[in-house]
Amino acid sequence: MKKISVILLSLCISILMNAQQKAKGVIFETGTLQQALAKAAAAKKKAPKIVFVDCYTVWCGPCKYMTNTVFPMEHVGEYFNKNFVNIKIDMEKGEGIDIKNKYNIRAFPTFLILDAQGNEINRILGSAEADVFIEKVKKAQDPSTSPAAKKAVYEGNKSFANALAYLEAAQFAYMKAEVKQFVEEIFPTLSSRDKYSEKLWPYLSPNLSDPQSVIFNTVLVEKSDADKTLTKERVDAALRSCLISYAMSYVRGTLKDVNSADVLNKLNYLSYLEGNNQETSMILRIARLYSENKIKEIESFLNMRNLGGLSDASRGLVEKMIFGIKEISSDSKLKYSNSKVEYYNSLITSIKKDIEKLQK
């Protein structure tokens, strides 16, 4: 009986060892995050003492790619199983909802690296090929590369280089609000050369989205300096995009606590940027009529006699602006759409006749 027991025990151990040897890919815990943290805290000398959290959603395509393609790879499993207690958590179910809020997760997939107490060491955003992803995680294991660490370095020495290092880390972590706030804070303190440098522009240009902001108005005042370094074309394009978006928001009624005269005054800068071309004139006229509540006059623009002379891109922009005004009636939109169909049909007929003439 003893012999049988020993044989059975040996067989079980052999099966277990073979299963472990055959196991490929990342092994994820099946319990809660708290259990994963407890396992890391109780780990012995050679076992992982930090936790890797795959924060995913079921509808996220890149999440599925990581789950189905990257994490099952043997060499990926070897690295993660050796260095982490791994766990996957759906951010829209159960404890995932609280975890999403606690760690301020805004994009998927987000991969958190936590210490055994649940403190964030770092994070990685988005999917990647296996070897690239491993390198990202290796870098993220170093706490000194985290946005928090970079911010602390900047606070100790407020150099432009340290500011850029923080911005890069925060941008990588998808901390959009923090990036925007930080740029707003440091912008007035920078020299003209640094303000409009190629290095700051990727972080500055998104901050030109609000024409009422201090940054937008500063760029207008210092535009000659910005143009010299960044080129007039790039600066104009960023300002134009902002003002067009501003005009759209205005006529949609989504701007809060604004004075119409101030809005129109700001939008007039479009004329300075582009001259009084047909598109700009139309946008400014629509905004002015909207401020005067002359909706019927705006509706009268919805015919191909007025818009047919615009380029396709300009016409699409003006259409979008007018259609975004909630007071514009559905009948007017439908009537215009039908007239547009007739316009293009007549254009096609005319082109066909020209082709027939050429063929004769």
pLDDT at 24 exceeding the cut of 80: yes
Q: Which pLDDT value is given to residue 251?
A: 94
Q: Which of 30, 23, 41, 24 is nearest to 87 (CA)?
A: 30
pLDDT at 148 exceeding the cut of 80: yes
Q: Where are the beta strands (DSSP E) in the chain?
A: 28-29, 51-56, 85-90, 110-114, 120-125
Q: Which of 219, 164, 218, 40 is nearest to 113 (CA)?
A: 40
- Tokens representing 35 are 């259990």
pLDDT at 274 exceeding the cut of 90: no
The lowest-confidence range among 41-45, 54-58, 179-183 is 41-45
Residue 266 burial (C-beta neighbours within 10 Å; 0-12, 13-18, 19+): buried
Q: Give the residue-averaged pLDDT of 127-154.
A: 94
Torsion of CA 264, 266, 267, 271, to 10 degrees: 120
The lowest-confidence range among 27-36, 154-163, 335-344 is 335-344
pLDDT band at 256 (very low <50, low <70, confident <90, very high): confident
Q: Give the residue-averaged pLDDT of 272-298.
A: 90
CB 273 within 8 A of CB 266: no
Which tens digit of pLDDT belongs to each residue from 49-83? 899 999 999 999 999 999 999 999 999 999 999 99
pLDDT band at 23 (very low <50, low <70, confident <90, very high): low
Helix (H/G/I), strand (E/B), else coil: 302: coil
CB 114 within 8 A of CB 50: yes
The lowest-confidence range among 103-107, 129-133, 155-159, 354-358 is 354-358
Helix residue ranges, H only, 23-86: 33-41, 61-65, 74-83
Which tens digit of pLDDT belongs to each residue from 82-105? 999 999 999 999 999 999 999 999
CA 116-167-152 angle, 5° bins: 55
To the nearest whole number, what is the mean pLDDT of the chain?
A: 89
CB 43 within 8 A of CB 49: yes
Task: Work out the number of other CB atoms within 10 angstroms of the CB of residue 294.
Answer: 13
Domain boundary assignment for the chain: 23-142, 231-359
> How far apart are the C-alpha atoms of 112 and 96, rounded to whole Å?
13
Q: Give the residue-averaged pLDDT of 128-134.
A: 96
The lowest-confidence range among 70-74, 180-184, 197-201, 345-349 is 345-349
Which tens digit of pLDDT belongs to each residue from 200-242? 999 998 888 888 888 999 999 999 999 999 999 999 999 999 9
For the domain spanning 23-142, the CATH number is: 3.40.30.10
Helices 214-221, 176-186: crossing angle, 10 deg rounding: 50
227-251 as b/e, with b when 16 or more CB fall inside 10 Å?
eebbeeeebbebbeebbbebbbbbb
pLDDT band at 16 (very low <50, low <70, confident <90, very high): very low
The pTM score is 0.73
